[in-house]
Amino acid sequence: MKAGFDAKKYLEEQSKYILERVNHYDKLYLEFGGKLLGDYHAKRVLPGFDEDAKIKLLHSLKDQVEIIICVYAGDIERNKIRGDFGITYDMDVLRLIDDLRAWELEVNSVVITRYEQQPAAQIFINKLERRGIKVYQHQATKGYPVDVNTIVSEEGYGKNPYIETNKPIVVVTAPGPGSGKLATCLSQLYHEYTRGRIAGYSKFETFPVWNVPLKHPLNIAYEAATADLKDVNMIDSFHMDAYGEVAVNYNRDIEAFPLLKRIIEKITGQESMYKSPTDMGVNRVGFGIVDDEVVREASKQEVIRRYFKTGCEYKKGYVDKATFDRVQLIMEELGLQPKDRKVVEPAILAAAEMERRLAQKGQNEKNHACSAVAIELENGVTVTGKSSDLMTATAAAMINGVKEMAHVADEIHLISPVVLEPIRKLKSETLGSQSPALNCEEMLIALTICAATNPMAQACLEHLGNFQGCQAHSTTILNRSDEECLRKLGIDVTCDAVYPSDNLYYNN
């Protein structure tokens, strides 16, 4: 895909701008929204964006940066799942700490926000402290959001323990939204000023992009991505009033700005330097766009991906009907249809062909849907795979994909029955699996075993890295194992909101 974004230019501009903001204070508390690592949304809508740009930015400033991680106690208690990784928020905190350490970044501590003695949160605190990680507990702020005098007092922010920090830039991040990052920043600001130190607050949020038009597909794609949060992009009226300049922000920040400004002014005892919520941000991502048309098209494709993703989440019960309806409206706003995603139609046709063949043989199962997966390869060729007794549709599509890339004839079998049958027998007889068909990961393991004696299997394995950035679509909801396997290979997959079986006990 043609690049629409200059990652190097962006990093240079972004680091320079953050350092300029730091110069105003003894210490800057920088609220980091979005993902520090693996920002695949940004990578998809901004072709050329480095998904690890934020962590590389912080690494370049590592001598001046330390990090506080927030997690809401209620999210721990209800085992909230981070959708892109399929892990709970508490486990994501552990993953994040490991990743930050690998990038030589100092993790100061973890803050458990709105802590009310939740049992699961206490177990997590014990786990962290027994591994040598400092943990702080913050309770809900008394008086918030209306009583500023109580909020900015020893009964409000003053009740939270002060987190000792040593670096001029303190990044406050979290596994997801609603984790208490802002409250933690403001609590620290209060304690800094009671100690006679000049501290500041800024926000680093990649989307919406403040200096591209309100209805640009890039910003609309952000609305689709946050439909469950009911975020709506708006013109920042405060910015327009102060500077006569159009800037885009989102409803939560604009609605919260008057209160936030009052709190900061109460803490500091002086008029805030910020005239608008856009002022508070340090994001410079818009300055890295080098081809607007490429970004527009990529953003439209992301909206379609979000449409399929939200449809599946609604089917699984993770989001409400209003959220799905919102994404449908966004699709209509951009004049998009599901078939505008190139891999959708080949997958539907493959499933229809499979259904016809089974009907001719009288083998249609009433409680099973015909599953097919289509993958568009980097050379533009689309391969498909259908579910069978031997392997899942995803595994079949993967086999056909590596065959195409390695120029191996379709009729050649890469996995020997000598390897295949013992695995199927193990799954069905020993492990009691209802479906002995190999999933994607099991198929790749079997292919690796066969590669020891089969040069063609080895040639196919060498092409696995070429799946990075490929697009795929499934006519049924994938099981978690296949979905995770595609994610690890760098394939962007969407699914129709249809379960492959009427069985209620399904690994989703």
Tell whether omega for the bond before 258 is within 30 degrees of 0, i.e. cis.
Answer: no
CATH class, range 7-213+279-286: alpha beta
Extract the residue ranges of the chain whose pLDDT is less than 70. Answer: 83-86, 363-368, 505-508
Closest CA to 76 of 98, 54, 91: 91
Closest C-alpha to 364, from 376, 353, 352, 356: 356
Cα–Cα separations (whole angstroms), residue 41 to 56, 221, 397: 17, 9, 24
Per residue in 18-41, pLDDT tens?
988 988 889 999 999 888 888 889
| pTM recorded for the entire structure | 0.89
CA–CA gap between residue 425 and residue 448 (Å, rounded):
19
- Give the whole-angstrom CA distance, residue 5 versus residue 218: 12
Within 13 Å of residue 426, how many CA atoms lie on the same side as its CB? 7
Length of the chain, in residues: 508
Bridge partners of 87, per DSSP, are 82
Question: What are the domain boundaries of the chain?
Answer: 7-213+279-286, 344-495
CA gap 351, 357 in Å, rounded:
10
Q: Buried b / exposed e across 1-29, counting CB within 10 Å, b at 16+?
A: eeebbbbeebbbbbbebbeebbeebebbb
Residue in the block written with tokens 């920043």? 185
The amino acid present at 332, given as its one-letter code, is E
Give residue-wise pLDDT tens across range 356-387: 888 877 766 555 678 999 999 999 999 999 99
What confidence score (pLDDT) does residue 142 get? 94
> Which pLDDT score, from 0 to 100, does residue 85 have?
67
pLDDT at 366: 55
State the CB neighbour count (10 A cutoff) for residue 503: 10
Angle between the N-to-C axes of helices 440-451 and 417-425, in degrees from 0 to 180, rounded to the nearest 10: 140
Distance CA 309, CA 440 (A): 20
Task: Please write down the long-range contacts of 352-355, taking CB distance under 8 Å and 24 or more positions apart.
Answer: 354/386, 354/387
- Look at residues 498, 500, 463, 495 and name the one whose alpha carbon lies nearest to residue 374: 495
For residues 38 and 98, give the distance between their C-alpha atoms in angstroms, rounded to a whole number.
Answer: 14
Provide CB contacts within 8 A for 446, sequence distance 6+.
415, 419, 420, 423, 438
Whole-Å CA distances, 227 to 51, 165, 179, 223, 256: 22, 36, 18, 6, 19
Q: Cα Rg for the chain, rounded, in angstroms?
A: 25
Domain at 344-495, CATH homologous superfamily: Domain of unknown function (DUF1846), C-terminal subdomain (3.40.140.40)
Farthest CA pair distance, the chain: 82
CA–CA separation, 128 and 74 (whole Å): 17
- The tokens describing 294, both together, are 């490429």
Same fold for the domain at 7-213+279-286 and the one at 344-495? no
Residue 211 sits at the vertex; the CA angle it makes with 210 and 212, to the nearest 5 degrees, is 100
pLDDT of residue 30: 96
